[in-house]
A and B are shown apart, each in its own frame.
Chain A
Amino acid sequence: MALNKDSNVYTIAFATIMVVIVGGLLAFVSMSLKPMQQANVKNEKMQNILQAIGIEETNGVTREEAGAKFNKFITRRVTINYKGEIVSDKTANDKIDAQDKLDAFNIDLRKEYSRYVKPIMSRNKGDDAKIQELLSNSTDIHFPIFVCEHGGEKYFIVSASGKGLWDDIWGYLCVKSDGETINGSVFDHKGETAGLGSKISETWFEDQFIGKTMAENGAYLPLSVEKPGKDLNNHQVDGISGATFTGIGVNEMLERNLAVYYNFFKNNPEFTK
């Protein structure tokens, strides 16, 4: 062999050529698959939002058809902050622009939680009043609302995000135009125990929320997940046996997020008209 395989020049040349080839190949693969991957993520989000509405037309929507149906059913996208001020208001005619971070559709539920809510909660552990105060003064936290008009009724899809046993959990719930009755829900999770906590994303669990309300006698009363087998009132749903901590996480997330929406609907009666 003419080449000395152990020489420095050879080693460096080999490494350089390899890096160039591998880098080029990976960039090419990534570039060519990127549109499909982004479409997947976007369509899944649309699918989740549509499924949360809880009307027949959108219940079994697949990821493929979600894109087309989304514009048909969702007529308005609104983003509010903790104080209930509207920071972004778009109609179905405004295209979703990935650069517009305030567009309700571009609000990343997991990031809202891990970046803004979690630090406040863990730093002030145990001092609930302070947490409440800091959270409600924060203008960084955004809450998306998707408005769906269908059959003369208005539906408001709101969101919630929090922490399960292992990792983040989040979901969309649909509130009827009375501002307190739930019409449907969709939950998802990052890494709950498969077969236990992961059941929050199953239909039977999600469907339990239909018809429940988050208010009593005109005051906010959070929805809650109970131990399975208990007698349930109008605010409670059955939990998952063996997944106590996921249930606690769901409760915390629903209580914290829905309160904001409840107050918003209550203080802005013209919005739900």
Chain B
Amino acid sequence: MKFAVSRFNPDTDSKPHMQTFEVAVERGMMLRDALLEIQRQDESFAFRHSCGEGVCGSDGMNVNGTNRLACITAVSDLKEPVEVRPFPGRPIIRDLVVDMSQFYQQYKAVEPWLVREDPMPEQEILQSPADRDKLDGLYECILCGCCSTACPSFWWNPDKFHGPQALLTAWRFLADSRDQATEHRLNELEGPYKLFRCHTIMNCVEVCPKGLNPTQAIGHIKHLMLRQGV
């Protein structure tokens, strides 16, 4: 099977180019396995990967035009030749490795930690199963970056628009019955950019490898803002 992968070495290349490799495909092979096979042929080919089972979020990349995790993408599902590129819109460090610092900055900007004003109880803070259910579809995010780097609004304003990942996280804490910083969180999201640059294009929903729905989370935040009259 033919794989065209994007190559870029900052020491020798002025811009990225595609290089084609032939990989013998085995039954049940994932794209990550194919990329490792390419590395066997050429050890200078670089990409990030680790757990191999879609939980660490290291190996996000653009495959035939769609952002995906290589380790849970079966090669049998891909149209040949498979074109593998780095995430769009991020500065390329080398081959498929991109600089994700702006993405992480946006994550940090939503203050992604539980805030509790009340004194802590001696045991657990109680939470009903129904309240806990509200976190399903939110806490599972693996920070792979597939969503934000597929979002046109994030491409244009990665410094000002939080992007789908960070906004999903913002809602994860707003939706947590234990969190006591709702007002602060909503105030921080005000203004034309951080939240309101989302134009519900929904690329994020389409590409999320964990089946999460950032657009819906953004809708919930907007709704809560209206209700609270912020």
A binds B: no
The chain A residues found within 8 Å of chain B, CB to CB, are none
